[in-house]
Amino acid sequence: MTQSEQTADVAVGAPEDERPAADVTEVTEEAEAKLSPLEEECDVAADYLEELLDIADLDGDLDTYTEGGRAHVSIVTDAEVLVGKDAQVLEALQELARLTVMTETGRRSRLMLDIGGHRERRRTELRELAADAVAEVKDSGESVALSAMNPFERKIVHDAVADAGFRSESEGDEPKRHVVVLPPA
């Protein structure tokens, strides 16, 4: 009988408090292996962003969650520098986090990053903008073209317009691609 077979016999027949403890590294690796791909995306992105905050000597807490088939990371901070003008810094950080996730996991990421609640505030503004455009189309019967938006923003407007029972479509080429709100068919 080999040493490991003897240990296995002793462990199985021994009272619980005399059995050898499980190797902690094995348990940790098992737990990590059980993470869903989206949870793994959250962890990789959060680790990367936490390092960036440390390097830049900026304060911020990170929250991660999954919703709607996407990984989400939120940096809770008052540092507007991380959002930047027209959310350009936020978009760049999101893209860097996505690239980091792809490098680590080998999978393309649709991770969403929010900083200081910026995306939620913007979502509210865009819904109001869509409601105003729908009201204008109702009154005039004519299409209304909105200003240029990124894909995230256009999606919010399209959804709000559809919820109001109207139609919309995107027109133009990036970076000037915009939403046009149309009268109902």
Domain CATH code at residue 176: 3.30.1370.50
Q: Domain boundary at 89, 116, 143, which?
A: 116
Rg (CA), the chain: 25
Residues 53-104 pLDDT 10s: 999 999 999 999 999 999 999 999 998 999 999 899 999 999 999 999 999 9
What is the C-alpha to C-alpha distance for residues 95 and 173, in angstroms, rounded to an integer?
20
The pTM is what? 0.73
140 lies in some domain:
yes
Q: Domain boundary at 101, 116, 131, which?
A: 116
CB 104 within 8 A of CB 98: no
Q: Domain boundary at 116, 142, 171, which?
A: 116
In the sheet where 178-182 sits, what is the strand order?
Answer: 144-148, 178-182, 167-171
What is the C-alpha to C-alpha distance for residues 176 and 145, in angstroms, rounded to an integer?
12
Please give the pLDDT value at position 32. 52
Please give the residue range of the domain that contains residue 141: 121-182
Q: What angle is formed at CA 127 by the lines to CA 66 and CA 125, rounded to 5 degrees?
A: 90
